[in-house]
Amino acid sequence: MKYPTLASILLVFMCLVSEAQETNQRITGEFTSLRFNEFVDAIERQSDYRFFFDVSRLDSLIVNLQVTRKPLNEILHEVLKGTDLTFSIDKNNYVYINARSPILTELPTHFFSKDLNADETADVNNSRFAEAEKIKTEKVIIIGTRGTNTRATATLAGFIRNSKSGESLIGATIMIEKPVTGSITDGNGYYSITLPKGSHQLKINNLGMKSIEKSVIIHSDGRLNIDMDEDILPLKEVIVEAKRDESVMGLQMGLEKFDFKAMKQLPIALGEVDIIKSMLTLPGVQTVGEGTVGFNVRGGATDQNLILFNDATIFNSSHLFGFFSAFNPDIIKNVELYKSGVPAEYGGRISSVLDIQTREGNKKKWSGSGGISPITGRFSIEGPIVKNKLSLLASGRSTYSDWLLQKIPSSSINKSEASFYDLSLNLDYLIDAKNSLAITSYTSSDKFKLQSDTVYAYQNKVLGLKWKHIFNNRLFGTLTTNYSGYNYTINSLANPINAFKLDYSIRQIQAKTDFSYFITSKHSLSFGAGAIRYDLEPGNFQPVGAESIITPDKLQSEQALESFVYVGSQFEVNPKLLLYGGVRYSLF
């Protein structure tokens, strides 16, 4: 009888050892810059563990770890440290990754007992089950209220923003695959998409951002704001190709787009990223040469280009004889150049439209940047005055070329002057879910003289106010008012007898409204109206000082009022055919 008893004890002992080995498997490996799903694959290849988790929740988690014969629970504690994620491992070596509370892998002790204390314990543990179930259902977003919309479709609208800075994302796409329906965010980061009621899987993409998917159940019209994370991926393969698909499938002809990241990749002169120089790399855009102001598009003159800075007109876009543009590249968000097929909302020029938009400013945290080149120095600072509500973006740029010219050992050169500066201040205030307000101010100044006593100077000044309002999911509108001023001055004071001052100025005040109406997901309408008042001082030639014999001469001031109204419509006939038509009427 002793031998069977001993054999039984040994059998039980071996089973316990085997189970302990299975539940305490040791992991060895070097995990460097791995995405979480790649890390999971490596663990599963060398063990019996099997992972269950939401890929969309963990796609941004990068694992950098080196371990030698460590239990999995210690490794996961290290990997998930600093996040709101937890894990559970059951007796089958199944690993469950969840947010907030770990998933219970077995029933609470005394779950089936009638004991009062056991019931209290079960209630506590069952609440954890309920919380886990609640977390699970939060993955599906419910839009609208059931039964409030009798139509078969509903409209979903909102803003897509950068989760890190709160900046709106231009050109982000949101779509579903069945049926194939999509929309693109406009210049304000706003989208509107009409979908059949029911359950959908939304796919959101934007260049430089991590693609995300959201499960939604749509009962009626509603709003959904989406935040996207920046994506930086190591390059494993580089494919160089032309924008063939965009050229064939794109609706807008003659439109070129730049962002700051793209401009930084272009060759730069004197260490300064330059918007105007970036434009000169495009086909059909050229300049007569250095020392000239502006650019020419397809044979047009420089004064036939409309240059907009946050919807305000800039009359002179250059610094220092045309060597630098008048815009600090650190604050630029998006640049669009229309060389042909100009939409109806733009008017006043016949050659091209250069539309420059600045960033709203970081609503999450304060940050700054700056740089020094052989000729200029610049800085910018941005951050929240009221977190997630009111942001500030300020920048400045200047040159120390005067100091450099004075160091040159030549009397004809060191008496010359060449200086400029530009300053910008933007405020962006998110009033509520449907209203926001943006204030833009900008000024620039140039002053120079070359081997003479004659001093040339000019200034740009801009002040703008823009109110954005969402009327409903289909209708979005903006009200814009701004002031643009330009002044040019020549004066000579060296010879008191011939001392003079000649100046010229133009001022412009504009007020306009713009609306975007999304009729369906394939048909949209844009319309608006506005007025512009012009005040022109064509020339004022005056003597300076009592000894000057210059005869005063002043040309008569001029004023003008331009009123306009426009409407444009875009319709998608099928995925390969898009139609756009527009009309603009101006009255002087």
Give the model confidence (pLDDT) of 339-354 as tens digits.
888 888 998 788 899 9
Q: Is the pLDDT of residue 322 over 90?
A: no
d(CA 520, CA 571): 9
d(CA 354, CA 8): 87
**Nearest C-alpha neighbor of 382 from the set 373, 370, 371, 395:** 395
What's phi and psi for 418, nearest 5 deg?
A: -160, 105
Which tops the pLDDT comparison, 498 or 116? Answer: 498
For 381, residues 6+ apart whose C-beta sits below 8 A from its C-beta are: 366, 367, 368, 392, 393, 394, 395
pLDDT at residue 122, as a whole number? 44
Q: Is the pLDDT of residue 23 over 80?
A: no
Mean pLDDT of 296-316: 88
pLDDT at residue 540, as a whole number? 92
What percent of the chain has pLDDT above 70? 82
**What's the pLDDT band for 24 if we cut at 50, 70, 90?**
low
For 143, residues 6+ apart whose C-beta sits below 8 A from its C-beta are: 154, 156, 216, 217, 218, 219, 220, 222, 224
**Nearest C-alpha neighbor of 571 from the set 535, 517, 528, 534:** 517
What percent of the chain has pLDDT above 90? 26
pLDDT at residue 298, as a whole number? 83
Residues 152 and 275 both lie in one domain: no
**What's the pLDDT band for 283 if we cut at 50, 70, 90?**
confident
Mean pLDDT of 233-250: 56
Picking from 80, 106, 132, the residue at the C-terminal end of a domain is 106
Picking from 228, 262, 286, the residue at the C-terminal end of a domain is 228
337 found inside a domain: yes
Mean pLDDT of 565-582: 87
Residues 188 and 253 both lie in one domain: no
Picking from 196, 228, 260, the residue at the C-terminal end of a domain is 228
Q: What is the pLDDT of residues 51-86, one digit of tens each?
A: 888 777 777 788 888 888 888 888 888 888 878 788
405 to 27, 320, 329, 409, 492: CA distances (angstroms): 67, 13, 25, 9, 20
137 found inside a domain: no
Residues 159 and 272 both lie in one domain: no
275 found inside a domain: yes
pLDDT at residue 270, as a whole number? 63
**What's the pLDDT band for 569 if we cut at 50, 70, 90?**
very high
CA–chain centroid gap for 500, Å, is: 49
- Number of domains the chain is built from: 3
Mean pLDDT of 16-43: 71
Q: What is the mean pLDDT of the chain?
A: 81
d(CA 44, CA 66): 16
Query: At 80, which CATH number?
Result: 3.55.50.30
Query: At 195, which CATH number?
Result: 2.60.40.4130
Q: Within 10 Å of residue 399's Cβ, how many Cβ atoms?
A: 21
Q: Is the pLDDT of residue 369 over 60?
A: yes
d(CA 336, CA 353): 8
Residues 531 and 394 both lie in one domain: yes
What's phi and psi for 277, nearest 5 deg?
A: -65, -35
Residues 334 and 457 both lie in one domain: yes
Q: What is the pLDDT of residues 441-496, one digit of tens each?
A: 999 999 888 777 788 899 999 999 999 999 988 899 999 999 999 999 999 888 88
Residues 336 and 451 both lie in one domain: yes
Both tokens assigned to 65: 């770890």
Both tokens assigned to 49: 């563990």
Q: Is the pLDDT of residue 507 over 80?
A: yes
Listed range (226-235, 434-443, 469-478) with the worst mean pLDDT: 226-235
pLDDT at residue 391, as a whole number? 94
Q: Is the pLDDT of residue 382 over 90?
A: yes
Mean pLDDT of 552-580: 90
Which tops the pLDDT comparison, 187 or 367? Answer: 367
397 found inside a domain: yes
**Residues 455 and 417 sit within 8 Å (Cβ to Cβ):** yes
Residues 265 and 215 both lie in one domain: no
Q: Is the pLDDT of residue 511 over 50?
A: yes
Residues in the chain: 588
Residues 50 and 76 both lie in one domain: yes
Mean pLDDT of 135-164: 76
d(CA 341, CA 98): 52
d(CA 570, CA 104): 54
Residues 260 and 194 both lie in one domain: no
Query: At 271, which CATH number?
Result: 2.40.170.20
Both tokens assigned to 101: 């509370």
**What's the pLDDT band for 34 if we cut at 50, 70, 90?**
confident
Mean pLDDT of 2-25: 45
117 found inside a domain: no
pLDDT at residue 166, as a whole number? 83
Q: Where are the alpha helices (DSSP H) in 191-272?
A: 244-249, 260-264
Residues 479 and 401 both lie in one domain: yes
Give the type of residue at 383.
Answer: G
pLDDT at residue 548, as a whole number? 87
Paired with 114 in beta bridges are: none
166 found inside a domain: yes
Residues 264 and 219 both lie in one domain: no
Which tops the pLDDT comparison, 76 or 267? Answer: 76
Both tokens assigned to 369: 């940047």
Give SS3 for 357.
strand
**Residues 269 and 329 sit within 8 Å (Cβ to Cβ):** no
pLDDT at residue 101, as a whole number? 72
Residues 359 and 503 both lie in one domain: yes
375 found inside a domain: yes
Range of the domain at 176: 142-228
135 found inside a domain: no
What's phi and psi for 215, nearest 5 deg?
A: -90, 125
**What's the pLDDT band for 116 if we cut at 50, 70, 90?**
very low
